[in-house]
Amino acid sequence: MRKVSFPRMGESYRTFKMLLNDLGNEVVLPPRPSRRTLNLGVQYSPEFACFPLKIVMGNYLEVVEQGANVLVTSGGVGPCRAGLYAELHRKTLHRMGYPVDIIVFEPPRLHPFNFIRNVHRLNPGRLSIKAVIACIKRAWRKLQALDNLEKLTHIIRPEERERGATTKVYKKVLEWVDGAYAMDEIIEAETAAVEEMNKIPRDTERLVLDVGIVGEIYVLLEPASNLEIEEALGNLGVRVERSMFLTGWTRDNTWKETTEGMTVKDAARHYLPELIGGHGRDSIGHTILYAKRGFDGVIQLAPFTCIPEIVARTILNKVSADHNIPVLTFFLDEQTGKAGMITRLEAFVDLMRRKKLQSAGLKPA
Ligand code: SF4
């Protein structure tokens, strides 16, 4: 019996589950990455593999234990290890006695035939092209709704009157979007969810800091991999703006690059004119754009041993000095602890708050 699964990245699994079901697949849902996921991944991955490779390895082992035998993932372009992930995972799983098939989606903009062939392989129901397009459109709309709600949590959380209220309501409304199927149901669920979230009591007088989050895609999108840093920042009175969401990344890699994507590249050009793989150049470009928009600081999230982000980190020292914006980097791996992260965040927030008050001619409390 054919059972399909995929690596978990934030809430996007809700969309992929719907799409794969629509195409006639039985889906095994990937669990939220946990300590067990990480332990499995670390145990069966090369020691110096990137952190996302290890978590995804653990996630794969959890789903193959539940019977998944087809795994769907994305490929990678540029000079870093991302393009080798799928092959390494496949070989490891085969060696462990799991003869899985891994379907790798390369960016359709660059590999249109790979996209068509893979959609065909994932369409055992043999839906017509028109029906497949309709399924993709609905899935896309659901993905947009999920991203929009997550962005809203970033705005509301630093002002919530009752600690944890945003997270509680967000968890509830996610289920509304999850249960919506037809296009109008998805739109209706999103509207109701936004209304519900806007009812959360807020203190709009509070001094809130604006911080941009840049870095490698996996650790940006999967909260379990970054120890829920955005929630922690929200609780410290910080409004975060994450530089990457799955809808934005997909848009840039599917049809054609958006003006937004090009603006980021242009901004980074002076410091880094070359593509160095991963999202290193984006981290630099976004940091400059955040500085120009008057943000109070930037946090870079980088998997331990991620070459593009290590290169970006060295350049960000200069960007930080040139554009007068504080930048804090977290290199994440299986050893990273939440308590240590919170301590560093508190110190960073304190520094930004003092700077903000001083530039407004006010005394820090
Ligand atoms: S971007 Fe970084 S973490 Fe991702 S595959 Fe490349 S080197 Fe590894």
CB 122 within 8 A of CB 88: no
Is pLDDT above 80 for 252? no
216 CA distance to ligand 1 middle (Å): 7
Q: Is residue 173 domain-shared with residue 218, that is, in the same domain?
A: no
Which band of pLDDT confidence, cut at 50, 70 and 90, is reported for residue 364? low
Q: How many angstroms does the Cα of residue 282 sit away from the middle of ligand 1?
A: 13
Span 276-302, average pLDDT: 94
Q: What is the mean pLDDT of the chain?
A: 93
Measure the N-to-C terminal CA separation of the chain; round to a whole number of Å. Answer: 64
Q: Which atom of ligand 1 is nearest to the CA of 52?
A: 3
Cα-based angle 143, 26, 149 (whole degrees, multiple of 5): 15
Cα 307 to ligand 1 centroid, rounded to whole Å: 7
The predicted structure's pLDDT at residue 78? 67
Range of the structural domain that residue 312 is part of: 207-365
List residues near ligand 1 (CB under 6 A): 50, 52, 80-82, 216, 277-278, 303, 306-309
CA nearest to 101, candidates 124, 77, 131, 135? 124
Q: Which atom of ligand 1 lies closest to the CA of 80?
A: 6
Does residue 34 sit in the same domain as residue 83? yes
Percent of the chain residues topping a pLDDT of 70: 96
Distance of alpha carbon 4 from alpha carbon 70, whole angstroms: 5
- Total of domains in the chain: 3
Q: Note whether 56 and 97 are same-domain residues.
A: yes
pLDDT of residue 254: 67
| For ligand 1, mutation pick of 53, 73, 81 (most atoms within 8 Å of CB) | 81
Same domain (yes/no): 145, 94: no
Domain boundary pick from 127, 162, 194: 127
pLDDT at residue 249 is higher than 90? no
Give the integer Cα–Cα distance in Å for 141 and 190.
10
182 and 221 fall within a common domain: no
Indicate whether 108 pLDDT > 90: no
Number of H helices, E strands in the chain: 15, 8
Q: Give me the pLDDT at residue 325, please.
A: 97
How many other C-beta atoms are found inside a 10 Å radius of the C-beta of residue 363?
7
- Compute the Cα dihedral for 147, 328, 355, 346 and give only its sign: positive
* Whether residues 225 and 365 fall in one domain: yes
| CATH number for 226 | 3.40.50.11900
Question: How many whole angstroms separate alpha carbon 180 and alpha carbon 187?
Answer: 9
- Residue found under tokens 């960073």: 348
Both 81 and 165 in one domain: the answer is: no
Residues 91 and 141 in one domain: no
pLDDT tens, residue by residue, 280-291: 999 999 999 999
* Average pLDDT rounded to a whole number, residues 130-142: 96
Assess whether 216 and 284 both reside in one domain. Answer: yes
Give the tens place of pLDDT for each residue, 221-248.
999 999 999 999 999 999 999 999 988 8
Contact 172, 250 (CB under 8 A): no
DSSP of 267-284, one letter per residue?
Answer: HHTTT--S--STTHHHHH
pLDDT tens sequence across 80-105: 787 888 999 999 999 999 999 999 99
Examine the domain organization and report whether 22 and 143 are in the same domain: no
